[in-house]
């Protein structure tokens, strides 16, 4: 039995339980060429002329310096995957929450769906053995 | 995208994401005594007697009534003998009971998982239509 002593109310805390992978911000540069083009085009479309970037590497370096979570936000527009970033670390969790398993989907199919979506985004740069169940608690 | 600002370290916190229900602690024991099926009663007695064989800390019981009496208000913790999890909500009068979504089997669909949890739950607490997603974050200490 697990007894919880102390309680953080819902208004100031949250949690997740996903199947997916845990990567560093720096790993985001390994997205597929299609995704790099998507990110660059999106950035240039909404940026003022002075902030336009010529290539993905410039875009990546620009945001990695101060606002790496912007890259995550941009990537999320291209996928069904969810991303959770951890303050004070370089860690990013990528996956899908278990509670979204569809009624007609098996546990195996759910995990395959997540792995395929990650592959769509990152190609073969993510080791298939790194997929696992991840659970974290956060205080806002 | 969800960005979390602020972080409670793993050493002092945990969370759960269950398919299950909240149960009033004051009513839990009576619910089990009144609704547990014969099969579940025997299963709980057998598990208790198995523990008694392996540990002097536990005492063997002759039947479910004796088992329930020996457990008192802790009878609710019998859910763990059935594969369910229990989480106590400090400062509240209820517990969360259910099965973590991550326990879904590879060959089981989402619907079958919910049906499995419902069957176990109802075999102990009786018929219910209240089962659903239970998700909370906690800080220990």
| pLDDT the model gives residue B141 | 56
Q: If you measure CA to CA, which chain B residue comes closest to A92?
A: B3
Provide the 10 A C-beta neighbour count for residue A105: 18
Exposure b/e, A92-102, CB count within 10 A at least 16 = b: bbbbbbbbebe
Closest CA to B19 of A1, A99, A135: A99
| pLDDT the model gives residue A40 | 95
Chain B CB contacts of A106 below 8 Å: 105-109
pLDDT digits (tens, 9 = 90+) for A98-113: 989 999 999 999 999 9
pLDDT digits (tens, 9 = 90+) for A34-52: 999 999 999 999 888 888 9
pLDDT band at residue A17 using 50, 70 and 90 as cut-offs: confident
- CB-CB contact of B15 with A17 (8 Å): yes
- B5 part of contact set with chain A, CB < 8 Å: yes
Chain A CB contacts of B7 below 8 Å: 86-89, 138-139
- CB-CB contact of A18 with A98 (8 Å): yes
Residue B61 has pLDDT above 80, yes or no: yes
User: Is the Cβ pair B15, A16 closer than 8 Å?
Assistant: yes
This complex has an ipTM of 0.75
Interface test mutation site (partner A, options B5, B15, B19, max chain A beta carbons within 10 A): B15
Return d(Cα B102, Cα A133) in angstroms, integer. Answer: 7
User: Is the Cβ pair B10, A16 closer than 8 Å?
Assistant: no
Chain centroid to CA B63: 21
* pTM of the model as a whole: 0.81
pLDDT digits (tens, 9 = 90+) for A113-137: 999 999 999 999 988 888 999 888 7
Return d(Cα B2, Cα B19) in angstroms, integer. Answer: 22
Region B5-19 average pLDDT: 60
| pLDDT the model gives residue B38 | 97
| The token pair that represents A38 in the structure block | 């998507």
Mean pLDDT for all residues in chain A: 86
52-71 in chain A: CB under 8 A from chain B: 69
Return d(Cα B84, Cα A85) in angstroms, integer. Answer: 30
pLDDT digits (tens, 9 = 90+) for B24-43: 988 999 999 999 999 999 99
């Amino acid at each position: 039995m697990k007894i919880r002593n102390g309680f953080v109310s819902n208004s100031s805390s949250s949690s997740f339980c996903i199947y997916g992978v845990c990567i560093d911000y720096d790993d985001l540069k390994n997205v597929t060429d299609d995704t790099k083009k998507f990110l660059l085009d999106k950035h240039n479309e909404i940026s003022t002329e002075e902030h336009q970037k010529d290539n993905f590497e410039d875009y990546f370096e620009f945001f990695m310096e101060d606002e790496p979570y912007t890259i995550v936000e941009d990537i999320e527009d291209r996928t069904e995957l969810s991303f959770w970033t951890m303050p004070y670390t370089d860690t990013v969790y990528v996956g899908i929450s278990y509670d979204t398993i569809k009624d007609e989907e098996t546990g195996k199919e759910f995990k395959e769906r997540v792995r395929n979506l990650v592959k769509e985004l990152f190609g073969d740069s993510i080791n298939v053995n790194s997929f696992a169940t991840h659970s974290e608690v956060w205080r806002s | 995208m969800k960005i979390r600002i602020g972080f409670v370290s793993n050493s002092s916190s945990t969370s759960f994401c269950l398919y299950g229900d909240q149960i009033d602690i004051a009513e839990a024991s009576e619910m089990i005594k009144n609704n547990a099926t014969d099969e579940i009663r025997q299963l709980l007695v057998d598990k208790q007697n198995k523990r008694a064989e392996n540990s002097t800390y536990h005492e063997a019981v002759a039947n479910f009534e004796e088992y329930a009496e020996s457990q008192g208000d802790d009878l609710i913790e019998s859910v763990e003998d059935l594969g369910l999890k229990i989480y106590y909500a400090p400062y509240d009068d209820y517990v969360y009971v259910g099965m973590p979504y991550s326990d879904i089997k590879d060959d089981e669909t989402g619907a079958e998982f919910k049906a499995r949890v419902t069957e176990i739950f109802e075999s102990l607490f009786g018929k219910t239509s209240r089962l659903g997603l239970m998700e909370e974050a906690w800080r220990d200490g």
